[in-house]
Structure 1
């Protein structure tokens, strides 16, 4: 019979594997982390089933898209065969904006709706929380002027990340949860309902 301590260790390992296998392009093992029936991923640039996220991520990886993830503190609430895992993280993306190479660092949390499937924890829904970000020019001698109108389209938590990804041709979703606010509150309410036995992990759409 698994204990809460064992479950929490396995949930932490699940999140660690996600970051390592995704960033290393280990797509076969990466696919095993998602719930086979309901896996759903939300990001600034993608919202949809895990299988589609894997395919698009793999295509980008093969084409040189540089997005890396780094993890920090972690906690998990476990009720039976369900859990909510939260993990401090940063998203690092390198790309060109108007011909100038830049690094974006976005800091926040992974908020994961998890379920036990055939004895192993799987991610049912991942919703990042975007707390703050910044843009750094890679070459200190280069100069870059940002379009304030485009920059202002995105919440402060992922303003520069959204700017870069829009310039790169992605359609970036607005209104994603940040450090505070109604969207974050609604996500936490969905998490509480998930632990209480709700039929679905909130409304990721």
Structure 2
């Protein structure tokens, strides 16, 4: 081999090889997700619940609990059942006029109603929040709207209530522990201006004044409506609910 042999490694050969291999390793690193076996590939994109949970943990507690209750109603209105379920603790409790049971069961029952054509929308008002340690109470006004057919006419059902949520923070995450409304007033109006709707007074008299129209309408849709719920026609019950919430927060 002579000094002029072009195959002889020169003084810069080591640096060239190092650079060459570094470039190839960088390209392999970029292609790895596509080349690796499926079981070794990076995890799939986080679910909507995982993304929401991460977002909520970044908020202050007042913002977080407010978002949880608003997302619960948004999910119910849009049929996002997995998202709705993710707002409840497994040991949560829901008491409304047509359902009494745990939170996950309420999500399941709501899904069945929606599949059967009982669909409504909730217009939410400004929430009032009280937080003490890992417990929170949120009261939020709601106007619930849905439609039904009465004597061949489309009728609007509107029900006003104040929904009371209790929430607990566990392992840094807020979720709903209970949901209970205070019923205020409900009404039925024809969807077409000028049309008339006649409901015998004796039929409405069977139901509580604070949610009589709601009870009448949902009974027609096949639901069994409790008449022992908390409503403004029974102020002592309302005061007792607030007292129980205050006691729970203070424990």
Given the two structures, how large is their TM-score scaled by the length of structure 1? 0.87
Selected match of 1:33 from 87, 94, 101 = 87
Partner of 1:200: none
Output aligned runs, 1:1-205, within 5 Å: 6-36=60-90, 38-179=91-232, 181-197=235-251
Q: Which has the larger radius of gyration?
A: 2
Cα distance in 2, alignment partners of residues 16 and 99 from structure 1: 34
Alignment: residue pair count? 192
Larger % of helix: which? Answer: 2
RMSD: 1.7
Task: Report which of the two has the higher share of strand.
Answer: 1
Q: CA deviation at 1:97?
A: 3.1
Q: Distance in 1 between matches of 2:178 and 2:219?
A: 24
- Contact kept? 2:118, 2:221, Cα under 8 Å: no
Offset of 1:62 from its aligned partner? 2.0
Q: Distance in 2 between matches of 1:98 and 1:35?
A: 42
Stretches (4+) displaced over 6 A: none
* Higher relative contact order (CA closer than 8 Å, sequence separation 6+): 1
Counterpart CA distance in 2 for 1:128 and 1:23 is: 17
Task: Give distance in 2, aligned partners of 1:108 and 1:27.
Answer: 23
Q: Deviation per CA, 1:142-194: give whole Å up to 9, x if none.
A: 43321322212222221111110112121111132223611111111110111
Point out where structure 1 has 5 or more consecutive residues left out of the alignment: 198-205
Q: Distance in 2 between matches of 1:151 and 1:118?
A: 47
Q: Deviation digits for residues 18-45 of structure 1, max 9, x if unmatched?
A: 1111111011111010012x21112221
Give 5+ residue unaligned stretches, structure 2. Answer: 1-58
Distance 1:100 1:25 in 2: 26
Q: Distance in 2 between matches of 1:108 and 1:88?
A: 6
